Amino acid sequence: MQEIERSAPSVEEAVEAALAELGVSEQEAVVEVVRESRAGRFGIGAQSAVVRVRRRSPAADAPGAIEHPGEPEGEQAPGRGEAGAEAAAVDEQADIVADFLEELVEHLDLDADVEIVSLEEGTYVDIWGAEGAAEDLGLLIGRRGATLDALQELVRGVVLRQTGERCRVLVDVEDYRKRRRARVIGQARDAARRVRQSGRSEAMEPMNPYERKLVHDAVGEIGGVETISEGEEPNRRVVIRPRHP
C-alpha cells in the first residue's frame, strides 16, 4: 500500500499535493493529518502542516461521507454505522452557518434570504437577494469569487469553534459557486482529453483550493493523464499532463 507524506503551509494544500502525486481523488484516499499548520505570531513559530495519504482499499475502508454528505451511502462497511450521525453533523453545521450568514447580511443592510440546500456534491448554504430587492449581491462574491472565499473562510472558523469539527458546508451566493463548479469540471475534462490526444501538458487558469480539487477529481476519472498544482497563491494552478506508465 503506497502511502506518502507531504507538508505544505496548510492542511488543504498538503492534502492536495499528496492526492495529485498519488493520482487519486479525495474520495479514493485515506487522509491522516499528522500535524496542523500554525500561523505563528509575527511570522515566528510558524509551522507547516503535515499529512499522510494513501489510496483507499475498497474493502478495508468505508467510503468517507466527508465530501458527499448528501449522498446515499448504499451498503455500509461493517462496524461503521455513522452515516446518520454524519448527516446530522452536517445538518447542524448548516444551521450554524445559516444563522451566522443571516445575521451578517443584516449587518450589511442587505435584503437577502439564506437557505440550506443539500445536493449530491455537498450541503450548501445559499444567500439569495430577496425578491424585488434592488441590491446586487455581487459584493458578496467579489472579484473572481474572492469575497465568497473570504466568507467561506470565516464560516470555517465559526463551525470549528462551535463544533470542534472541520467545516463540511459550502457557502454560495446566488448559485455562483455551483455555476462555476460546473464550468470548472467541464473545462478540466475538455483539457484532459486534449492532453491525452496531443501528449502535451496544459495549465488551467489560477484557481482557489476548492476549484483545484474539482479539477484533480474530474481529471482523476480520465485515464492516461495526471494533475499537479504549480505556483503560489493566488496564482496557483493545476497542470494536466500525460501519465507515463
Partner 1 sequence: MKELLEFIVRNLVDDPDAVRVEEVQGERGPVLRLTVAEDDVGKVIGRAGRTARAIRTVMRAAGAHLGADAHVEIVG
Site for partner 1, rule CB under 8 A: 9-11, 36-39, 41, 46, 49, 100, 103-104, 107-110, 139-140, 142, 146-147, 149-151, 153-154, 157-158, 161
Nearer to partner 1, 62 or 154 (CB): 154
- Least distance (Å) from partner 1 to the CB of residue 166? 12
CA distance 80 to 98: 29
Q: Which is nearer to partner 1, 107 or 244 (CB)?
A: 107
| Residue 156 Cβ vs partner 1, minimum distance, rounded to whole Å | 8
Nearer of residues 130 and 203 to partner 1, judged by Cβ: 130
Q: In the bound complex, what is the minimum distance in angstroms from residue 226's beta carbon to partner 1? A: 27
101, 114, 110, 115: which is closest to 135 by C-alpha? Answer: 110
The grid coordinates of residue 26 equal: 479525495
Residue 112 or 204 having the CB closest to partner 1: 112
- Nearest approach, Cβ of residue 12 and partner 1 (Å): 9
